[in-house]
Amino acid sequence: MATYLITGASRGLGFSLATALAREPASVASLVFLVSRNTSTPQIAELVGQSKGRVIPVQLDPNVPESLRAAVEFVGTRVQGKGLDVLVNNTGVMRFTGGKVGNLTSTNLTEVFHTNVTLTQLVTSAFLPLLRQGSRKIIANISSTVGSITLGPVFSMNSAHAYKISKAAMNMLTMQYAVDYKDEGFTAFALSPGWLRTDLGGPHADLPVEVGTKEVLRYLKEAGPTFNGRFLNIHVPGWEDAPGSNRYDGKDAPW
By the criterion CB under 6 A, which residues form the site for ligand NAG? Answer: 7-8, 38, 40-41, 62, 89-95, 97-99, 102-103, 105, 107-108, 111-112, 115-117, 119-121, 123-124, 139, 141-142, 160, 162-163, 166-167, 170, 173-174, 177, 188
How many residues touch ligand NAP under the rule CB under 6 A: the total is 26
Strands (DSSP E) contained in the chain are 2-6, 29-36, 55-59, 86-89, 138-142, 187-192, 231-233
Q: Could you say which of 19, 36, 124, 213 contacts ligand NAP (CB under 6 A)?
A: 36
Q: How far is the CB of 147 from ligand NAG (least distance, A)?
A: 8
Measured in degrees and rounded to the nearest 5, phi and psi for residue 225 equal -50, -30
To the nearest whole angstrom, how small is the minimum distance from the Cβ of residue 182 to ligand NAG?
Answer: 11
Among 189, 195, 219, 248, binds ligand NAP (CB under 6 A): 195
* Residue 205 interacting entry, from ligand NAG, ligand NAP, none, C-beta within 5 to 8 Å by type: ligand NAP
The residues, ordered by sequence, that sit 6+ positions from 77 with a Cβ below 8 Å of its Cβ are: none
Which of 205, 208, 249, 250 touches ligand NAP (CB under 6 A)? Answer: 205
Of 27 and 226, which CB lies nearer to ligand NAG in the complex structure? 226
Chain CA centroid to CA 233, Å: 13
Residue 28 CA, distance from chain mean position: 19
CA distance 125 to 101: 31
Are the CB atoms for 8 and 58 separated by under 8 Å? Answer: no
Site for ligand NAP in 73-102 (CB under 6 A): 90-93
Site residues for ligand NAP, 164-193, by CB under 6 A, read 192-193
Q: Quick one: how far is CA 212 from the chain centroid? A: 12
